[in-house]
């Protein structure tokens, strides 16, 4: 089946729920057993709420099918999905490589929490490609990718990095929230663990916090073992909201992607804008990889304003009517925030302020008018 058909028909078990189109919300901790034998042999599909319910199981099934993976586990947030994937692959004394363009909280976890467990994380330039082998150590066990990079949007050569890691028996994991399993499938490109902050596009309505990690066959046992013993799970309502959001993922993302391209091209034409950081644009340095590996993309990108003072930025932000100021993205609503870049080994060119925008479901012409007025205010 095509992905659009999977999104409509996957993760549904109407026959088990009296014909209801959507899997009902199961809110439960305790699950009862019908007799002593079943209780002692655990021979029934569900045993305890934390271990799964029909609602969460249907969501896991749908995401695993979209990802092309063996098994999906659910976590309470995108960050917990990243940390779950990392912890499933490491032990004391290990070393991991992390892309220098990763999500800020992922970096904070690697810098402050992993050392407590005797695990060292170092960073690599997201543009390193096959040369990543130069950073391998004898105790390197995992590489954490994110493409494009958070905030600065560099594209990584994922298949090349994954192949280099596989040749050394190194586990690869990728934060694929920007591409989603609709537009990029990490496992098909050689990655072992695919991570999504489902909070963003998969939920799509800014009303639930959920993470997913999908493993290939080789990493399923390690992932499910760690996930089960850490006790991370989500409630029935959040599982239901994610299933609800997934049904319209394709139509939402395709519309938002086209709107994002239109808004990005407008920004590129404005004299106040020094550059637009968006691999979907033809003149972006990462566009060749984007065209090769992706079938579409997120409506999340950044643009650099030519040097200006904080008062000018305040005028731009405070008069916006349609763009909300909030640190999220992927919902139906458009957002704008200042971009924050922290790097260890790679260099981000210095210039003016960088602003990150997430384009929602509004008419792109209305969004362009809102930004145009903001840029006019920036000029005083």
Q: Which of 58, 94, 157, 175 is catalytic?
A: 175
Q: What is the CATH number of domain 3-246?
A: 3.40.640.10
Domain 250-378 has CATH 3.90.1150.10: yes
Residues of the chain short of pLDDT 70, as ranges, are: none
Among candidates 28, 36, 92, 65, which has minimal Cα distance to 233?
28
The domains spanning 3-246 and 250-378 adopt the same CATH topology:
no
Q: How many CB atoms lie within 10 A of CB 4?
A: 13
User: What pLDDT does residue 266 have?
Assistant: 98
Exposed, middle or buried, 377 (CB in 10 Å: 0-12/13-18/19+)? middle
pTM (predicted TM-score) = 0.94
Non-local (6+) Cβ contacts of 27 within 8 A are: 235, 236, 237
Non-local (6+) Cβ contacts of 202 within 8 A are: 63, 180, 196, 210, 212, 242, 245, 246, 249
Among candidates 115, 133, 196, which has minimal Cα distance to 170?
133
The CA distance from 39 to 45, in Å, is 12
Judge whether 200 counts as a catalytic residue: yes
Q: Which of 57, 107, 200, 356 is catalytic?
A: 200
Extents of the domains making up the chain: 3-246, 250-378
The CA distance from 316 to 372, in Å, is 9
Q: Which of 12, 65, 103, 293 is catalytic?
A: 103
User: What pLDDT does residue 22 have?
Assistant: 85
Non-local (6+) Cβ contacts of 58 within 8 A are: 11, 12, 13, 23, 239, 243
Exposed, middle or buried, 32 (CB in 10 Å: 0-12/13-18/19+)? exposed
User: What pLDDT does residue 303 have?
Assistant: 97
* Interval 39-72: pLDDT, tens: 999 998 999 989 999 999 999 999 999 999 999 9
In the β-sheet with 71-75, what is the strand arrangement from edge to edge? 71-75, 211-215, 193-196, 171-175, 140-146, 95-99, 120-124
Q: Which of 6, 50, 51, 270 is catalytic?
A: 50
Judge whether 50 counts as a catalytic residue: yes
Judge whether 116 counts as a catalytic residue: no
Q: How many CB atoms lie within 10 A of CB 210?
A: 26
User: What pLDDT does residue 343 have?
Assistant: 86
On average, the pLDDT of the chain sits at: 96
Judge whether 103 counts as a catalytic residue: yes
């Amino acid at each position: 089946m095509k992905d659009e058909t999977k999104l409509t028909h996957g993760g549904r078990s109407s026959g088990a729920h009296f014909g209801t189109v959507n899997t009902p919300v199961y809110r439960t901790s305790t699950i009862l057993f019908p007799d002593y034998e079943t209780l002692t042999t655990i021979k029934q599909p569900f045993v305890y709420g934390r271990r799964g319910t029909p609602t969460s199981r249907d969501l896991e099934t749908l995401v695993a099918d979209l990802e092309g993976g063996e098994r999906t586990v659910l976590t309470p947030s995108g960050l917990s999905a990243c940390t779950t994937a990392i912890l499933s692959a490491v032990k004391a004394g290990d070393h991991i490589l992390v892309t220098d363009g990763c999500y800020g909280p992922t970096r904070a976890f690697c810098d402050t929490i992993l050392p407590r467990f005797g695990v060292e994380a170092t960073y690599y330039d997201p543009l390193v490609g096959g040369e990543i082998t130069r950073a391998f150590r004898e105790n390197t066990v995992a590489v954490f990718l994110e493409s494009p990079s958070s905030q600065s949007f560099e594209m990584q050569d994922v298949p090349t990095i994954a192949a280099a890691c596989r040749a050394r028996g190194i586990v690869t994991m990728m934060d694929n929230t920007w591409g989603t399993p609709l537009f990029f499938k990490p496992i098909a490109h050689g990655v072992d663990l695919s991570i999504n902050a489902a909070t963003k596009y998969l939920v799509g309505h800014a009303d639930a916090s959920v993470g997913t990690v999908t493993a290939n066959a080789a990493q399923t046992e390690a992932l499910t073992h760690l996930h089960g013993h850490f006790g991370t799970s989500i409630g029935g309502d959040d599982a239901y909201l994610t299933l609800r959001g997934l049904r319209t993922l394709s139509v939402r993302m395709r519309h938002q992607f086209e709107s994002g391209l239109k808004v990005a091209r407008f920004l590129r034409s404005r004299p106040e804008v020094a550059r637009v950081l968006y691999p979907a644009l033809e003149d972006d340095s990462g566009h060749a990889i984007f065209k090769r590996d992706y079938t579409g993309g997120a409506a999340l990108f950044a643009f650099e304003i030519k040097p200006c003072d904080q008062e000018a930025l305040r005028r731009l932000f405070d008069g916006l009517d349609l763009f909300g100021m909030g640190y999220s993205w992927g919902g139906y609503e458009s957002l704008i925030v200042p971009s924050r870049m922290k790097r260890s080994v790679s260099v981000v060119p210095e210039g003016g302020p960088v602003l990150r925008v997430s384009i929602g479901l509004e008419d792109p012409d209305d969004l362009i008018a809102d930004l145009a007025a903001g840029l006019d205010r920036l000029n005083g």
